[in-house]
Structure 1
């Protein structure tokens, strides 16, 4: 009887929190105080940082159409105060937010935490429209579960452009997602200007997954700098991916002297690991990439090399490499290549990021492994036993190109690959895959990956990303015992009007008939 009473009280508290705290991800603590704060054009933002104050001002107008002021004159005015305060200390990314009758106070001991508090206030404010922007008084204390809360967008297969990427970054900030993994090179296209090698974009930028002759599409270095700065203003780090030694067809189409060949299904799939010039070529590329991306993290792929490395057996340079370095098979050649490129990145003071195929190598604290093969638990276990940091992005449930529901008709066959529903993403926890308590310090976080082989249009990109991005955010931020999917459903539907306002063509997982599925 006592347990039932506790369960009922817990469910009631979750219901109250969802009503008074219409926020995704749900905060760690959210307590109503009975007050109300009126958000109108007379409100003044008082902040310790002009950039944060200006961001809050413009974002409030975007979500509420209320033009609040920034200033110091607060006489007879309701205020929103941004306070940097080392007492009490906050966890990384943590903050407090208190809404009372005459003021809103967002407090943290670092700007990242203040920004997260701003994101929470923006959600509360946007939900306040139904009450005439009379915001319920609350006291929130909050902090993230994981440091890495990521989204990956693949623009090598299909290119979408900087305005679409900026829109996605805005929504990432809204949901406190803080890592943008940008897949910019693959066999179907090279999308990043490298000044030392102009043919990478002039030739390698031609085509996409649907049309190998489509006009060249890519980002100039000026474009990249603009996007990186835009993300930085939202406390999002941008991590580029330069895929190697496989998925290299676009690059070797531009510079065939570095081709390691491929297979019938994947021609010219690899770089040649036996040529010393290959390592110079790729290191020169990484030098420019390092300048463009201040995150000091570069992802170098390392996945699916076996799709197209069979020609390595016929290359005299590879035979010489194997003999000289006592390499017994092509897997060891692959690991040798990874070690060489890891050394190049280390010399550039970058962390080395790669997919889980690389765990057989000598990796350590300067590496981050992205565990994506949910059916290869031994790769995850090996990385954790080596005490290597891991980002969990298993295909099930974090591949966002997979179907969301069995009603969908376009995409990977759900009978073979399963369905990555909003609820399945929401219910994810590392423990499902055998992660132990002692492993948790090495789990940096989680990431949703949106591959675009089957996504040509912005509408389909939206349809596959929203609202799964919101489910991902709560999984990445909120501790499992504070999550409640029923509450989440109520909160996320309140964001549908915001999606529509921003021309986001979302999937309604509660009523799939409302919006037709874009086929491309």
Structure 2
């Protein structure tokens, strides 16, 4: 998964990543195109989403609008298809909506301190029509027939709903006791829109609570400190993609000496064998076998694994490559190798040859056996705490 809302990398870089994914037989490209810091997907019915919502990024709120036209999208999707890769768009809702609300403020669910216009307004029927149009245009561009609707971290801005009389009245009318109940109603409605278009709904693990139809929904488990969310998803018979922050977030540092990037702020994760607060190549390689309990590993509902690269701390292609390689090689091994066939020594020997290939290809990588070979690409300090 590549986040291009926080920082935009463009068509040439995405194609290069698709080439490298094909090299490793990775078959799904999850494209995070909308979030609080920028809307990157052209929607013809609502042009301000890109011309206004596409202005700025995580480091510069005044940066010129950057986004993909629908022609760009079709070109990249076709490029991926030739490499046997499905492209899955993410249109985040009802939270992480600040960029969209900058473009069309009438659909905003209000603001709280630190999270201005973070949600969509669930009380207006016009909101659902607006988002349904966006989903329909998006669906027409991506033949994989899968749309990721996010559904994560809505709690960051949801208290703003209680300040809006129309939203409070809707809650009372439907008998909802909390804004979270209304959040689930919202997500079910938008999920139903996706399903009626013949596509599957993909979502982060918070959305397990919304009771979307199990045969039409794929849950992405990202909160390794919430093992109960994974258990609930499996109990409800959802298909599940494993992408927990530890060890599958590639914006986390790779070594204890690295200073730029994220580390987990807690060592307490009940039931999981977490050694580090960061994500080494070796930990990625050994996922999920040395991280999950036997029942979960044996579940037929676990359909794959995914690495996520959030880009709050990634504003250059050089840093992007440094965080991805060689962990992309470890991801491929983790995805396609059985536990019985995994061997750390064998993998490390293969990695040496792969690093030689990176050299010839001109890729800026991290070498775990020779950390000084390529210095860490230092990034800025984030302006605020990163949540996801």
- Please say whether Structure 1 and Structure 2 have the same fold, judged by a TM-score greater than 0.5: yes
Residue 198 (structure 1) aligned to one of 47, 50, 59 = 47
Give the secondary structure class of the aligned counterpart of 1:360.
helix
**Aligned match of 2:110:** 261
Q: Deviations over 1:423-476 (max 9, x none)?
A: 011111257333516852100110000000000000000000000000010000
The equivalent residue for 1:290 is 139
The alignment partner of 1:242 has SS state of strand
User: Alpha-carbon deviation of 1:497?
Assistant: 2.9
**Per-residue Cα deviation, 1:402-432 (whole angstroms, up to 9, x for no partner):** 0100111111246658110000111112573
Match of 1:329 in 2: 178
Partner SS, residue 181 of structure 1: strand
**Superposition RMSD in Å:** 1.3
Which of 82, 95, 109 pairs up with 1:233?
82
Of the three residues 478, 493, 508, the one matched with 2:352 is: 493
Indicate the residue corresponding to 2:228 in structure 1.
378
Structure 2-normalised TM-score?
A: 0.93
Q: Equivalent residue for 1:468?
A: 327
SS of alignment partner, residue 43 of structure 2: coil
Q: Matched residue of 1:379: which SS? A: helix
For residues 146-225 of structure 1, the aligned pairs below 5 Å read 152-225=1-74
What's the CA shift for 1:265? 1.1
Tell me the CA shift for residue 388 of structure 1: 0.6
Partner-residue secondary structure (3-state), 2:305: strand
8 Å contact kept, 1:404–1:421: yes
Higher Cα radius of gyration = 1
Q: Give me the whole-angstrom Cα distance separating, in 2, the residues matched to 1:494 and 1:509.
A: 13
Aligned ranges for residues 94-493 of structure 1 at < 5 Å? 152-363=1-212, 364-413=214-263, 416=266, 418-429=277-288, 432-436=291-295, 440-493=299-352
- Structure 2: distance between partners of 1:430 and 1:291: 38
Shift of 1:498: 2.3
Mapped to 2, the partners of 1:172 and 1:328 lie a distance apart of: 46
After superposition, the Cα gap between the structure-2 partners of 1:348 and 1:430, relative to the gap in structure 1 and judged at 3 Å, is: farther
- The secondary structure found in structure 2 opposite 1:450 is coil
Matching residue within 344, 347, 362 for 1:503:
362
The residue matched to 2:291 in structure 1 has which SS?
A: helix
Deviation by residue 1:249-269 (Cα, 9 ceiling, x = unmatched): 000000000000132111111
What SS class does the counterpart of residue 289 from structure 1 fall into?
helix
Deviation at 1:327, TM superposition (A): 1.0
Q: 1:360-400 CA distances to partner (integer Å, 9 max, x unpaired)?
A: 12131100000000010110000100111000000010000
Tell me if structure 1 keeps the 8 A contact 2:286–2:334: yes
Aligned-pair distance for 1:485?
Answer: 1.4
- Name structure 2 gaps, 5 residues minimum: 268-276, 380-388
Q: Deviations over 1:38-91 (max 9, x none)?
A: xxxxxxxxxxxxxxxxxxxxxxxxxxxxxxxxxxxxxxxxxxxxxxxxxxxxxx
Aligned partner of residue 261 in structure 1, secondary structure: coil
Structure holding more strand per residue: 1
**What is the CA–CA distance in structure 2 between the aligned matches of 1:413 and 1:229, rounded to whole Å?**
36
Runs ≥4 residues deviating over 2 A: 413-417, 430-435, 500-503
Instruction: Report the Cα distance in structure 2 between the residues aligned to 1:486 and 1:275, rounded to whole angstroms.
Output: 58
The two structures have a TM-score, normalised by structure 1, of 0.70
CA–CA distance in structure 2, aligned partners of residues 498 and 432 of structure 1: 30
Contact 1:463 1:505 in 2 (8 A): yes
